[in-house]
Structure 1
Amino acid sequence: MRLKKSQRAEFFEDDDIVPAKPVPARLPSKPFRLLDLPSEIRERIYHFALFTPARKSALKKNGTVGASAKKSKAFSPTAQRIALFLTSRRIHDEASYYFYSTQIFRLFPVQDFARMPTVRQLPRRHRSSVTTIELILGNSWTAPPKTWTVNQGLGLHDMVLTRTLKVFIECDPSQPIFEGFRVSKEYYTEFAGRLMRQVLERLPGLVQVEFDAYPSVHKNGSLMTRLLQETRDFQKRVLWGPERGWVDGEDDYDDPAEDPADAAIDGLRASHPGVDVLAESLQLVSLGTETVAA
């Protein structure tokens, strides 16, 4: 038999009723103290904030030539980066140093639609954070731009932390394939050697120079010989980049029977960056010639 509600209440004493537990008041949350973290962890957080793209279009390469193009990182949205820099003066200094010290900035522009600013375009206060710069040679070998000058406005004297200069050579116009198109055999070699010397004179803390090139450029060629001589005159360490595959103690002398197509292709890339289709055609002609000869 079921009891009515009023009858069921008579079976319970007031002491048997368990009162509901009071809900504790919510304590205010404390701010997260980023600056209390070790510097290694802060840098990792800055990396995520600066280099986490929000869309696939941000993954486009920064140009097509040299280490500054192949090793560039995709940026996070502009608003996200600005918000990080505006957090506080100390976070601005740490995050901006991390950003500029991990990028490779070119000394002079080349026509491959790179989005990164050149050294001359950097704010003066941030030049002292740059650790690696790049000089791309071979571009516009028939008439080097007049703006490719090393002067006070370039700001190399401000780059006290720059330790590595990367030099990428697109072509060597002193090779026989360029006869009839160049000003003279040693014209571009002299221009590049003089430019290299002026750069080395103005970098106070430079330690090493890394050389790399397209396949047609040879270590024992006129251009590379001059650049290596300038580097050693300033007692800088010589390193070799990954694309060309040079190593210490080995030369790559030209084979007299070598097909000059590689040099022609590299020359086209350097003078007209938009001729990839023509370059592929030259490669096909070269392969066809080899097949017929075989």
Structure 2
Amino acid sequence: MNNTKSGYVALVGRPNAGKSTLLNWLLGEKIAMVSHKAQATRKRLYAIVMHKDAQIIFIDTPGLHEKERLLNKFMLEEALKAIGDCDLILFLAPATDDIKYYERFLELSKGKPHILVLTKIDMVNNAKLLAKIAEYQKYQDRFLELVPVSVKKNIGKEELLDAIVKYLPHHPYYYYDPELLTTENIRDIYKELIREAIFENISDEIPYESDVVIEKIEETPTLDRVYAMIIVEKPSQKGIVIGKKGEAIKRIGRDARKLLEQFSQKKIFLNLIVVVKKGWTKNKKELEKIGYIF
């Protein structure tokens, strides 16, 4: 009998619950954009982890939230599609969070099997952690298991992967080549890493009203030349992204180049330009041009 297991596992939680950080930790590689600002992830991202002869295909999703902007509606739809399509859900609940986020998820998930992952346990003491676990116990008939983890302290990784494999379906084959880390192409990963540099260097609403289009990549064995366009909604935002004497765009370029080099293990030449597209976050045609297909 073939005991191979393979399945799709959606990472779900409120914005800024640490989904991308957890994904990079489980994968052992940085491929998902990580930011301290909420709602950084916009599209589903697939990452592949091999664990004890099982293939886990993780789906990183935008946070569960509701806002009026068309882009935000797309993001919520992406998360709901992942919930519908997966075999198992990991619901991420930071140890400092109110239980109401989990209760809202229960309404949306329609009984889909899920593991409750209590994240950021290093941020509370033992007494508070036990009190939080006790709070979730009233829903113990709704979740398969509760697994506490800390990415910062590297606690709970094996336990979480073991728990996931337990609930994956048996498959006579793997969905993807076991050597693969992700189904994303290099263009999409580079785009997300440049967006991360924007989020970390520019404050307020601008990161939410900006995006990145990779126009061209010229690859050689030791160097990638990346030509990218940063899109913003207003001329005033373009001025802020460029900064006084070009200081802000230099910082973004420097940080983005580091992230790209860490990922590619190559030298990176990065050319960034800033373009204004008025109201792009509310315009379906513009969103589809950038790659947000409804």
Q: Which has the higher strand share?
A: 2
Larger CA Rg, structure 1 vs 2: 1
Which structure ranks higher in relative contact order (CA pairs < 8 Å, sequence separation ≥ 6)? 2
